[in-house]
Amino acid sequence: MKPIIEFKDFSWKYKASKDLVLNSINLKIYQNEFIGIMGPTGAGKSTLCCCINGLIPLKTRGWIKGNVEVLGKNTRTAKMTELGQRIGLVFQDPETQFIMITVEDEIALGLETLGLDRAEIKNRIEWALKLVGLEGFEQKAPEELSGGQKQRVAIASIMAMRPEILILDEPTSDLDPIGKYEIVEILEKIRKEFDLTIILVSHRTEKIVQFCNRVILLDNGEIKFNGETSEFLKHEELLNKLGIYIPIHLSQNGISQNLKFSEQISTGKYVTAEQDPIIEISDLSFAYPNNTQALKDISLKIFNGEFIAIIGKNGSGKTTLIKHFNGLLRPQQGEIFINDNPVLQYSITQMAQIIGFCYQNPDHQLFKNTIREEIEFGLKNLKFPDDEIKNRYNEIIDLLDLRKFEEIYESTFYLSKGIRQRLALASVLVLKPEILIVDEPTTGQDYRMIQEFMKILQDLHEQKHTIIIITHDPRVIAQYSKTVIILDDGNLIQKLPTSEFLKNEELQKIAAYTLQ
């Protein structure tokens, strides 16, 4: 059987990079395979995808050796237009893949390029939207969609073009667990129906193991493993070395369809209502200007020293709720008290010292050129004396192990995403807030980076900080949080200890936590 993708001793280095990003790759992929690509951040996974699609070398400058042949064409000499139309590539960030201003136009854009008539375009738009579960979303603008919905649109717009090969580079990072599962299930269905070859890049071992029939493991631009999925998990030593997560139930019992995380219940204590709440919310309701009712009559108490995971499906109101904690959103109905005082009584500067807020994308939160300037930014805004600024800076840079990066990198711009996230955390923590809120700390990060970041949060929690995270990651919920708050369609379902939540299948379904 002839491979449809073949790398022949292929090496690649970007113009600006010092080292080879892909080194002597020899790889054959056959029609109708479902390939999983794994590896730590910076291993070369995305670069490999761009080489298959032709973006490398056709549209990217760099040094090249060897050849890649895809669908019988050498990517050095093929036309980008042809490769792009036959090989669909879905990127990680759905925001930047949304080119047009409505969902319908977005899907139609590629179909118009194929020269299809209006009736066929209409049929394919309907088909693609049904495929990803977004029927009726034709006229929606990107700003009206959640991250997960945008990711579905990105997949729909590629699928509508009916590519022969579909490459997905972390396509479900913004989705809740059920959303992730649904997308991969859809991919499996269309692979069979359309005889499609699918290449899926993911950090999630469970998903790769469950759906892919072959796994390619990359590290430092080299293939470290290329074989059957059933063989993959037998290389525990290699996987541990590369920081690839091996779910306990998979490593012990082989491939399982039932993905549960109850075996990893965190051992911390659940804070009970014996003390005064640090945050108290009563009858909070909030609707956005487009009349979306984001929160409905929420009453809730959060106590000092809790480690809370706020969970729920995409669009359940999690981010809207936490933005009320520090006054970024004003309640339209109901009240919020921080340390027994109404939240709106606090000034911006006072609030910054009570509640620290870490955004999902550190790029939104880094304003200065150097690590020192960034960490000192908040302290200077709050007019701390110079001695105090110096002391706090030294304290936080050592706590988060950032000093070595300050010596290496002149500008924060050159830091990797993981380090930028750590710097964003440092710049918030330096203000010594009583409560730390972190929005989606694990999105798009590999297992090792997640572990490193969560370890920092765990240490802070042990130092009596109140930690609130929003996450879709079942591992993080089970391993680190002590309490969960479940939201569904703007309603507070329950606040309960994580250990109890992990035993309650009904609540897990509501929170889009389990697959059953």
Tokens of 28: 């054959």
Least distance to another protein, CB of residue 428, Å: 7
Q: How far is the CB of 74 from another protein (least distance, A)?
A: 17
Give min distance, CB of 85 to another protein, in A.
Answer: 4
- The number of beta carbons lying within 10 Å of the beta carbon of residue 269 is 12
Nearer to another protein, 166 or 502 (CB): 166
Question: How are beta strands 483-488 and 466-470 bridged, if at all?
Answer: unpaired
Q: Cβ 207 to another protein, closest distance in Å? A: 23
Partners of 166 in the beta sheet?
88, 198
Q: Which is nearer to another protein, 93 or 488 (CB)?
A: 93
The least distance separating another protein from the CB of residue 374, rounded to whole angstroms, comes to 10
Q: How far apart are CA 89 and CA 346, in angstroms?
A: 47
Closer to another protein by Cβ: residue 70 or 484: 70
Residue 62 · residue 12 · CB < 8 Å = yes
The amino acid occupying position 203 is H
Secondary structure of residue 393 in the 3-state scheme: helix
CB of 103 to another protein, least distance (A): 11
Contact at 8 Å (CB) between 137 and 149?
yes
In the bound complex, what is the minimum distance in angstroms from residue 258's beta carbon to another protein? 36
Comparison of 9 and 363: residue with beta carbon closer to another protein: 363
In the chain, count of helices (H) and strands (E)? Answer: 21, 20
Min. distance of Cβ 123 from another protein in angstroms?
12
Alpha-carbon gap, residue 111 to 251, rounded angstroms: 44
Contacts 24+ apart (CB under 8 A), 399-406: 399/426, 399/429, 400/425, 400/426, 400/429, 400/456, 402/371, 402/426, 405/371, 406/370, 406/371, 406/372
Residue numbers of the site for another protein (CB under 8 A)? 50, 53, 55, 59, 80-86, 88-89, 91, 93, 95-102, 105, 108-118, 121-122, 141-143, 157-158, 161, 323, 326, 328, 347-349, 351-353, 355-357, 359, 363-367, 377-378, 381-382, 413, 427-428, 431
| CB of 36 or CB of 142, closer to another protein | 142
SS3 92: coil
Residue 270: burial class (beta carbons within 10 Å; 0-12, 13-18, 19+):
middle
Q: Considering only CA atoms, which of 482, 475, 516, 504 is closest in space to residue 261?
A: 475
The tokens describing 403, both together, are 């000093």
Distance separating alpha carbons of residues 424 and 441, to the nearest angstrom: 11
**Dist CA 266 CA 214 (whole Å):** 33
Distance CA 419, CA 401 (A): 10
Residue with smaller CB distance to another protein, 364 or 464: 364
Cβ distance to another protein smaller for residue 124 or 180? 124
The nearest distance, CB 266 to another protein, in angstroms, is 27
3-class SS at 416? coil
CB of 69 to another protein, least distance (A): 18
Tell me the closest approach of the beta carbon of residue 201 to another protein, in angstroms.
Answer: 14
Nearest to 52 by CA among 212, 191, 201: 201
Angle at Cα 393 formed by Cα 390 and Cα 399, nearest 5°? Answer: 140
Q: Return d(Cα 374, Cα 371) in angstroms, integer.
A: 5
How many other CB atoms are there within 10 angstroms of residue 463's CB atom?
Answer: 9
117/237 with CB nearer another protein: 117
Q: Which is nearer to another protein, 365 or 483 (CB)?
A: 365
Cβ proximity to another protein, 243 vs 378, nearer residue:
378
Please say which residue, 99 or 255, places its beta carbon nearer to another protein: 99
**Of residues 96 and 333, the one with the C-beta less far from another protein:** 96
CB of 343 to another protein, least distance (A): 13
Q: Can you read off the two tokens belonging to residue 194?
A: 């359309």
Both tokens of 492, joined, read 């507070």
> Closer CB to another protein, residue 209 or residue 358?
358
Q: Are 42 and 24 in contact (CB under 8 A)?
A: no
Q: Mutual orientation of helices 147-159 and 103-113 as an angle, nearest 10°? A: 20
Smallest gap from Cβ 448 to another protein, in A, equals 24
